[in-house]
C-alpha cells in the first residue's frame, strides 16, 4: 500500500503534524473478529454436558474434513464392520501405559466406549501417541479384533497451510506481554526504555528509525501483577493496591504515541476471573483505558485483524495469554523434551495442530459455552501468547507463532520451578515482509 503521506510528499505537499496523525489514524485500525463474551449466570451440570457434546461435534466436523477420515464410523458400529480397516473419530477418555510400553486407550463417542491398543512394537506410532491427552477428539485408523481396536494411525484435526498477506511499505507490529506492573520485580527502567524508543527518544538503541513505523502495540496479558493471585503475594509487591497498579499502567499507555493502536488482552494477574474466556479489563479497574481512542481492550482469547485497508486484507492475530501452557507442559512429555517453558512456540504448534488452546477438560478452567472459546475456529495469521516470560518465534504451516518475553525479573516462584525467563525483549514484525526482529531493552 502506497502511503498517503508519501503521495502528499510526492505532490510537493508537506503535511502538518496534525495531518500526519490523522492519516495514520485512518490507516491504522483494529477489528475484533472473535471476542467470546460469557454472560455470568447459574451454571448447571446440564450446561457442562451440553458444552461437552458441542465440543465433540465441532472437533468431529474439523476431522471429517480430513480425507483419511471420511469413512469414519461410530464406535457402536465397529464390531459389525467386516473390512480390515476401521476408522473412528473419538474422544480420548483414558490413557493407561502398560508395563511393556504398550498404550491402552479408552475411546468414547456419542454411541459408546471401546478399548484401543497402541502396540509398543510400533515405535513411530508410540512416539505420536505420547502427544495424546485426555478429552481430545482425534481420528484413529486401525482394525478390530474380538472387540478391541488396534490402532495403526492417529490423525489430528490440524490446520491448512496459510499464506500471510503483506503490505507494500513498512508497517511494524510490536508484541509484548507480562510487564507485571506493581511487582517488585517489574523492570521499570527497561520498560520505560521501550516507551521512550516508541517516542524516538532513546539514543544508542539500534533500529531507532523502525520505531517511527510501529503502528500496533499488542499486550498479551499480565500487564499488572494484581493482588492476592497467589499466597503471600503482598511480600513481592511494590504497589499493593491494584487500582494504583492500573494507574501506573495507564500512565505508560498514555505515553505511547497516539498514532499507534494499542491492544490489551488480560492474563492471570489482572484481578478478574481465571476461567476462560476472561473478560476485557473492566472499567472499574481501568476506566481511562476505555476512554482512549487508540486503545482496544479485548477478551482472553480474542481474534483481531490489524491494518485492514482498501488495498490490504489485514493480518489476523489470535491473542491468548496462555494460562493453559502450564498443564500441557506438565502433562505432555514430548513438549517438555522439546524445551518446555523455553520453547513456547512448540506448545503453540501443539494447540494449532489440535485447533484447540486447551484440548483437555480441566487443562484450563473453562466456562460452559455453546461455542467453546478455546477452539481455533478461524486459523489466524499470527498466534500471540504470553505467560511463559520467554520470547520464542517460529512458524507452523505458515502461521507465525510468537511467544512474548516479559518485563519482570525472575521471581522466587519461577526460581523454585526452574524456569528461565528472558525479560526485556520486544518482538517486532514488519508486515511488508513478515520479518521478525527481537529488540533488547534491558539496561544492564
Ligand atoms: Fe506472567
Ligand atoms: Fe500468566
- Domain boundaries along the sequence of the chain: 4-40+161-440, 67-155
**Ligand in closest contact with the CA of 408:** 1
Ion ligand 2 nearby residues (CB, 5 A): 222, 267-268, 387
- The residues, ordered by sequence, that sit 6+ positions from 9 with a Cβ below 8 Å of its Cβ are 15
Please give the order of strands across the beta sheet that includes 425-430.
Answer: 295-297, 261-265, 214-220, 172-176, 425-430, 435-440
pLDDT score of 86 = 94
Q: From ligand 2's centre to the CA of 29, what distance in Å? A: 27
For 36, phi then psi, to 5°, come to: -60, 130
Q: From ligand 1's centre to the CA of 341, what distance in Å? A: 12
Q: From ligand 2's centre to the CA of 204, what distance in Å? A: 32
335 close to 347: Cβ distance less than 8 angstroms? yes
pLDDT tens for the chain, 444 residues: list them. 445 666 666 776 666 655 655 566 567 899 999 999 888 888 888 888 888 889 999 999 999 999 999 999 999 999 887 778 999 999 999 999 999 999 999 999 999 999 999 999 999 999 999 999 999 999 999 999 888 999 999 999 999 999 999 999 999 999 999 999 999 999 999 999 999 999 988 765 567 789 989 999 999 999 999 999 988 889 999 999 999 999 999 999 999 999 999 999 999 999 998 888 999 999 999 999 999 999 999 999 999 999 999 889 999 999 999 999 999 999 999 999 999 999 999 999 999 999 999 999 877 788 888 889 999 999 999 999 999 999 999 999 999 999 999 999 998 888 888 789 999 999 999 999 999 999 999 986
349 close to 396: Cβ distance less than 8 angstroms? yes
Looking at domain 4-40+161-440, its CATH class is: alpha beta
Q: Hey, how many other C-beta atoms are within 10 angstroms of the C-beta on 248?
A: 17
DSSP bridge partners of 218:
175, 263
**Ligand in closest contact with the CA of 180:** 1
Ion ligand 1 nearby residues (CB, 5 A): 178, 222
Q: From ligand 2's centre to the CA of 181, what distance in Å? A: 13
Q: From ligand 1's centre to the CA of 17, what distance in Å? A: 37
Q: From ligand 1's centre to the CA of 37, what distance in Å? A: 23
Distances (CA, A) of 103 to 109, 113, 262: 19, 16, 48
pLDDT score of 14 = 65
pLDDT score of 6 = 64
**Ligand in closest contact with the CA of 181:** 1
Q: From ligand 1's centre to the CA of 223, what distance in Å? A: 8
Q: From ligand 1's centre to the CA of 36, what distance in Å? A: 22
pTM equals 0.92
Q: Hey, how many other C-beta atoms are within 10 angstroms of the C-beta on 334?
A: 12
**Which DSSP letter does residue 310 get?**
S
Cα 302 to Cα 90: distance, rounded to the nearest angstrom: 28
Distances (CA, A) of 424 to 196, 408, 427: 14, 8, 10
Annotation: CATH topology of 67-155: OB fold (Dihydrolipoamide Acetyltransferase, E2P) (2.40.50)
**Ligand in closest contact with the CA of 411:** 1
Q: Please spell the DSSP secondary structure of 339-402, one letter per residue.
A: TGGG-HHHHHHHHHHHTBS--SBTTB-B---SS-TTB--S--SEEEE-SS---EEEEETTEEEE
Same fold, 4-40+161-440 and 67-155: no
418 close to 373: Cβ distance less than 8 angstroms? no
Q: From ligand 2's centre to the CA of 220, what distance in Å? A: 9
pLDDT score of 390 = 96
**Ligand in closest contact with the CA of 389:** 1
Q: From ligand 1's centre to the CA of 55, what distance in Å? A: 29
Residue with grid cell 502511503, as numbered in its chain: 3
**Ligand in closest contact with the CA of 322:** 2
Q: From ligand 1's centre to the CA of 363, what distance in Å? A: 18
Q: From ligand 2's centre to the CA of 326, what distance in Å? A: 10
Q: From ligand 2's centre to the CA of 39, what distance in Å? A: 23
Q: From ligand 1's centre to the CA of 322, what distance in Å? A: 9
* Residue 336 buriedness (CB in 10 A; 0-12 / 13-18 / 19+): middle
388 close to 403: Cβ distance less than 8 angstroms? yes
Q: From ligand 1's centre to the CA of 222, what distance in Å? A: 5
Amino acid at each position: 500500500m502506497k502511503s498517503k503521506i508519501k503521495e502528499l510528499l510526492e505532490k510537493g505537499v508537506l503535511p502538518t503534524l496534525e495531518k500526519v496523525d490523522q492519516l495514520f489514524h485512518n490507516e491504522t485500525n483494529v477489528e475484533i473478529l472473535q471476542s467470546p463474551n460469557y454472560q455470568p449466570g447459574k451454571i448447571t451440570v446440564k450446561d457442562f454436558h451440553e458444552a461437552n457434546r458441542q465440543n465433540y461435534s465441532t472437533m468431529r466436523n474439523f476431522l471429517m474434513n480430513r480425507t483419511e477420515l471420511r469413512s469414519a464410523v461410530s464406535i457402536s458400529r465397529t464390531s459389525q464392520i467386516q473390512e480390515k480397516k476401521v476408522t473412528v473419530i473419538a474422544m480420548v477418555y483414558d490413557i493407561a501405559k502398560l508395563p511393556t510400553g504398550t498404550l491402552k486407550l479408552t475411546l468414547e463417542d456419542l454411541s459408546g466406549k471401546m478399548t484401543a491398543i497402541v502396540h509398543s512394537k510400533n515405535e513411530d506410532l508410540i512416539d505420536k501417541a505420547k502427544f495424546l491427552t485426555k478429552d481430545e477428539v482425534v481420528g484413529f485408523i486401525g482394525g478390530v479384533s474380538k472387540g478391541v481396536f488396534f490402532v495403526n494411525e492417529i490423525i489430528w484435526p490440524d490446520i491448512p497451510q496459510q499464506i500471510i498477506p503483506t503490505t507494500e511499505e513498512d508497517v511494524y507490529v510490536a508484541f509484548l506481554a507480562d510487564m507485571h506492573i506493581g511487582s517488585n520485580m517489574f523492570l521499570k527502567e527497561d520498560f520505560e526504555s521501550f516507551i521512550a524508543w516508541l517516542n524516538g527518544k532513546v539514543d544508542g538503541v539500534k533500529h531507532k528509525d523502525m520505531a517511527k513505523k510501529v503502528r500496533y502495540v499488542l499486550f498479551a496479558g499480565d500487564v499488572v501483577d494484581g493482588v492476592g493471585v497467589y499466597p503471600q503475594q503482598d511480600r513481592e509487591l511494590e504497589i499493593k493496591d491494584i487500582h494504583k497498579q492500573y494507574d501506573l499502567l495507564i500512565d505508560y499507555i498514555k505515553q505511547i504515541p497516539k498514532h499507534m493502536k494499542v491492544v490489551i488482552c488480560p492474563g492471570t494477574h489482572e484481578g478478574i476471573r481465571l476461567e476462560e474466556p476472561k473478560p476485557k479489563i473492566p472499567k472499574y479497574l481501568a476506566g481511562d483505558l476505555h476512554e482512549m481512542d487508540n486503545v482496544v481492550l479485548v477478551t482472553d482469547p480474542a481474534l483481531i485483524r490489524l491494518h485492514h485497508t482498501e488495498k490490504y486484507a489485514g493480518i489476523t492475530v489470535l491473542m491468548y495469554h496462555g494460562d493453559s501452557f502450564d498443564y500441557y507442559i506438565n502433562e505432555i512429555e514430548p513438549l517438555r523434551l522439546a524445551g518446555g517453558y523455553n520453547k513456547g512456540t512448540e506448545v503453540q504448534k501443539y494447540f494449532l495442530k489440535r485447533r484447540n488452546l486447551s484440548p483437555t477438560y480441566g487443562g484450563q478452567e473453562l466456562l460452559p459455552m455453546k461455542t467453546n472459546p478455546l477452539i481455533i475456529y478461524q486459523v489466524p495469521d499470527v498466534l500471540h501468547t504470553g505467560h511463559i516470560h520467554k520470547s520464542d518465534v517460529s512458524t507452523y504451516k505458515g502461521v507465525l507463532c510468537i511467544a512474548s518475553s516479559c518485563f519482570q525479573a525472575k521471581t522466587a516462584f519461577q526460581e523454585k520451578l526452574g524456569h528461565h525467563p528472558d525479560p526485556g525483549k520486544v518482538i517486532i514484525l514488519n508486515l511488508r515482509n513478515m520479518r521478525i526482529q527481537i529488540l533488547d531493552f534491558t539496561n544492564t
